[in-house]
Amino acid sequence: MTKVKICGITSEQDALMAVDAGADALGFVFFDKSPRFIGVEAAARIIEKLPPFVQVVGLFVNEDLDVVNSTADCCGLDIVQLHGEESPEFCRLVRRRVMKAFRVRGPESLTPLADYRVAAYLLDAYSPHAYGGTGEVFDWECAIAAKQQGRVVLAGGLTPENIAAAVTRVQPYGVDVSSGVEASPGKKDPDKVRRFIQLAKHPHPI
Ligand X SMILES: O=C(O)c1ccccc1NCC(=O)[C@H](O)[C@H](O)COP(=O)(O)O
Q: Which C-beta is closer to ligand X: that of 113 or that of 132? A: 132
Separation between Cα atoms, residue 203 and residue 67, nearest integer Å: 39
Are 189 and 179 in contact, with CB atoms under 8 Å apart? no
* Active-site residue identified among 14, 124, 142, 176: 124
Closest CA to 106 of 76, 66, 146: 146
Q: How far is the CB of 56 from ligand X (least distance, A)?
A: 13
Q: Is 20 a catalytic residue?
A: no
Separation between Cα atoms, residue 12 and residue 103, nearest integer Å: 29
Separation between Cα atoms, residue 177 and residue 156, nearest integer Å: 7
Q: Is 75 a catalytic residue?
A: no
Q: How far is the CB of 206 from ligand X (least distance, A)?
A: 27
Q: Which C-beta is closer to ligand X: that of 129 or that of 204? A: 129
- Looking at residue 18, its amino acid is A
Provide the binding-site residues for ligand X, judged by CB under 6 A.
7-8, 27, 29, 31, 34-36, 59, 61, 83, 124, 131-135, 155-158, 176-180
Q: Which C-beta is closer to ligand X: that of 81 or that of 205? A: 81
Catalytic residue numbers, as ranges? 7, 124
